[in-house]
Amino acid sequence: MQQFFYRIKQKITGSINAKFLVMFLVLLIIPLIMLTQIFIVRLHSVLKAKEQASIDEKIQFAGSEFDRIFSDMDRITTSLILDYHVTDILNDPALVPSYEWFTGYKSMNSLLSLLTTNSGHTFQITVISADNRLYRSGALHNAMLTTDAPIFTHVSEGNGQPVIFNRALENFDETEVITFGR
């Protein structure tokens, strides 16, 4: 190994071409490679920072959209809870085939339709009275829901506070539906 380095040293010190080659490597190629590496590392860090900023911005936008959607849902449920007309219909002991029941049913369904059309998103609203009467606006997922259903028990455990859950994750059914209940 020492002989190899000795021969290289002799060639470099003896030949002018070898000296030019070494000087070319030392003065031009090596600094160019170092500058390229520095540029690449800097470019990589800048691109990484920009990508992180873009991802953070998208996450913030998605979070604000979720907050807006959930605040719309909360507004709708609060308006239903505070509406005396809704409370009267839900507490009305009118029998199902009577005219009073029918007018209350139509009134409640039109109110639910109005609430869903005034929002920016498509909501499916279901209201259940204490005697298992079902009022809904496009809520096909809740068609067979009764007050003794586990989903209703889960919502009622919130004691009037909003309860948000995914039905499939909570094992209520196979449908991937986000439910907001109060």
Residue type, 83: D
One pLDDT digit (tens) per residue for the chain, 182 residues: 677 767 766 666 667 776 777 777 778 778 888 889 999 999 999 999 999 999 999 999 999 988 888 888 888 888 887 887 787 777 777 666 777 777 887 888 788 777 777 666 777 787 877 777 777 777 677 777 777 778 888 888 888 788 888 888 888 877 787 888 87
Beta-strand pair 163-166/134-137:
unpaired
User: Whole-prediction pTM value?
Assistant: 0.60
What are the φ/ψ torsions at residue 159 (nearest 5 degrees)? 50, 50
Query: What is the torsional sign of CA 76, 81, 86, 91?
Result: positive
